[in-house]
Copies of this chain bind each other. A is one copy, B any other.
């Protein structure tokens, strides 16, 4: 295996990885090598551009810590996240659609009871969220675990405040036996994804705005059903048709309705897909 040239190297590398015992890993590596090489060959990537790519990936890695996930942000803004979600969530009509996970989920969110205020001090107009978790047959799913997270009135998630001592505007609660749930929080607002890293550079260089339409994140788990990772988007938001991460589904757009006392109400029901046996 000497004297590989641009015409012979791809097959040589694939051959090198052909000993991979796990067939799925072998399949993924083979496809990755083919597309990585095809990208370089198609663009006739220069050595200076290769260095820029190495530097971009390195800086992306250095932005990542336990509160910031720049690689997820990169995947989101290149549409890879939404493509992966779309491929893996082909559900029967009637199920609530999935959308991107996003970079701001944090493990170990605080636990709440129905009726509690998950805002926990986050800025924003008060809002009640309520709904029911059901199966495709319309019957309630009892005791689903509902995790929610969202940005505050300034468009920031709690983890974006370096000085904040406790989680805000995120929490986990359980639906009741009849599938119903309700909690208090703040109204979701549109916000820009963080632009102080390599992804921000990419968006500026491509004249793309970093805004996401207002949304509330949900992850809903119940025994016997597929986990649902989704958002509810706020109707009327100016960014619904240009979401920086390509995540909007019309079926997930809902009315936040202002009440007589000035507070807001979001009613949204979720329909889970039975787990494949």
Contact = CB atoms under 8 A, between A and B. Distances in A.
A252 B172 CA distance: 62
Contacts of A85: 47
The number of times this chain is found in the oligomer is 2
A4 to B, nearest CB: 6
Interface residues of A, number: 75
Interface string A1-21: 111111001101100110111
A253 B2 CA distance: 10
Given A39-B32, A40-B84, A45-B87, A246 B54 contact: no
Given A13-B79, A35-B35, A40-B84, A2 B58 contact: no
A218 to B, nearest CB: 16
A249 interface: yes
Interface of A: 1-6, 9-10, 12-13, 16-17, 19-22, 25-29, 31-33, 35-47, 49-50, 54, 57-58, 60-62, 64, 69, 71-72, 75, 78-88, 202, 205-208, 240-243, 246, 248-250, 253
In the A-B complex, the 9 residue pairs with the closest CB atoms: A61-B61, A13-B79, A35-B35, A20-B206, A35-B39, A6-B86, A19-B207, A2-B248, A50-B84
